[in-house]
Amino acid sequence: MGKTLTAALRSAIVMALLFALLLGLIYPLVLTGFGQMLFPAQANGSLVVEQGRVIGSTVVGQAFVSERYFRSRPSAAGKGYDGLASSGSNLGPTSAALAERVRADLASYRTSPGSLVPPDLVTASASGLDPDLSPEAAFYQVPRIARVRSLPEPRVRALVEANVRRPLLGEPHVNLLALNRALDRLGPAG
């Protein structure tokens, strides 16, 4: 009896160690290696480098608050777009704090009483780090951008249209970092 228990215990410990080694070290290293070989940019965070300096990532949003730029969605991650604090606000539909924040955001975007502001300009994403906007939200901001940068609206509208991505699956979207970089290359910055 004691010998079979010892043998069973030994084989259980050996299997636990083997699986820990396989699934805790070998498997992650193999996947990391494949990721680095096949998708190096994505595996390293899809970083955007300009003049030798990292200016952002195409997959993690950042706050664009200047009137000169297309603004991003509200972020509930930390103090806004903090990658270490990625999360939603967890405020429910009956939350007074959420209603007040949305009211303030609506007031900052409305160009005239009763104008309809696209929902993603006043609602945070689940992660709080969304790098994209809907095309409607980007087009809504065209008049402000054109005015601040002294550019013709059709030119700014064409820039937005050129930056709309239409994936095979999912909704059309505009990456804000790409759009704002293209905007800077376009001309006057106001």
pLDDT tens string for the chain (190 positions)?
Answer: 668 888 899 999 999 999 999 999 999 999 999 999 999 999 998 898 888 999 888 888 888 888 899 998 887 776 666 777 676 667 778 888 878 888 887 877 777 666 788 888 888 877 878 899 999 999 999 999 999 999 999 999 999 999 999 999 999 999 999 999 999 998 765 4
Residue type, 104: A
User: Is 134 strand, coil or helix?
Assistant: coil
Spans of all domains in the chain? 2-42, 46-186
CB 136 within 8 A of CB 174: no
First-last CA distance in the chain: 86
Sign of CA dihedral 58, 56, 75, 111: negative
Give the number of C-alpha atoms closer than 13 A to the C-alpha of residue 53, restricted to the C-beta side: 2
Helices 142-149, 153-162: inter-axial angle, 10-degree rounding: 120
In terms of pTM, does the model score above 0.85?
A: no
In whole angstroms, give the CA distance from residue 177 to residue 188: 18
Residue identified by tokens 């820990």 is: 20
CB 70 within 8 A of CB 64: yes
